[in-house]
């Protein structure tokens, strides 16, 4: 009987050690896809923010880019769903931001509400870059977390 108890304890210890080992959160191809998608969207947002900087200087409206996000959105949604919702919202607000840039008040001034919308979009675009970059960093998770996730998918 003591031999069986020792065998059970050893088996439980081995199982616990196995489950505590960290493994990549994504497969290598999925990680590479996400890194490419994030790099593409990040550079597009950087270009849009440069246009916004030019708008601040010239007060001339610009058309903001969104093609790279449209091409990469499925990868980001699949691999970083929590980040995707925020970034998609930033992109969905592009038409309203462009309209705010085009609208003029007396003597070509920009109404306060439009100025606020423009600056809010700029801040959110910078935050979108930050969260995308963070999401693209390779992460590791414990094996037991992956097992639990498979048992209880979101």
126 and 107 within one domain: yes
Please say if the pLDDT value at position 108 is more than 80: no
Q: What is the pLDDT of residues 13-57, one digit of tens each?
A: 555 555 555 544 578 888 899 999 999 999 999 999 999 999 989
**Sign for the pseudo-dihedral over CA of 92, 111, 44, 129:** negative
Q: Are residues 3 and 77 in the same domain?
A: no
C-alpha distances (whole Å) from 68 to each of 25, 30, 35, 46 are 25, 18, 13, 12
120 shares a domain with 63: yes
The dihedral through the CA atoms of 138, 142, 145, 147 has a sign that is positive
Residue 120 and residue 65 share a domain: yes
126 shares its domain with 73: yes
- Domain membership of residue 46 as a residue range: 26-138
Identify the CA nearest to 61 among candidates 113, 90, 111, 99. Answer: 99
């Amino acid at each position: 009987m003591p031999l069986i108890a020792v065998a059970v304890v050893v088996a439980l210890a081995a199982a616990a050690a196995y489950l505590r080992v960290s493994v990549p959160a994504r497969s290598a191809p999925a990680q590479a896809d996400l890194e490419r998608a994030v790099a593409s969207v990040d550079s597009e947002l950087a270009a849009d923010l440069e246009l916004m900087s030019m708008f601040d200087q010239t007060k001339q409206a610009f058309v903001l880019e969104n093609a790279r996000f449209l091409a990469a959105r499925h990868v980001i949604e699949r691999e970083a769903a929590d980040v995707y919702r925020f970034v998609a919202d930033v992109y969905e607000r592009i038409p309203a931001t462009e309209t705010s840039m085009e609208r003029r008040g007396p003597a070509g001034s920009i109404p306060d509400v439009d100025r606020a919308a423009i600056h809010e979009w700029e801040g959110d675009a910078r935050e979108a870059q930050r969260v995308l970059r963070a999401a693209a960093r390779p992460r590791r998770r414990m094996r037991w977390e992956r097992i639990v996730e498979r048992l209880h998918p979101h």
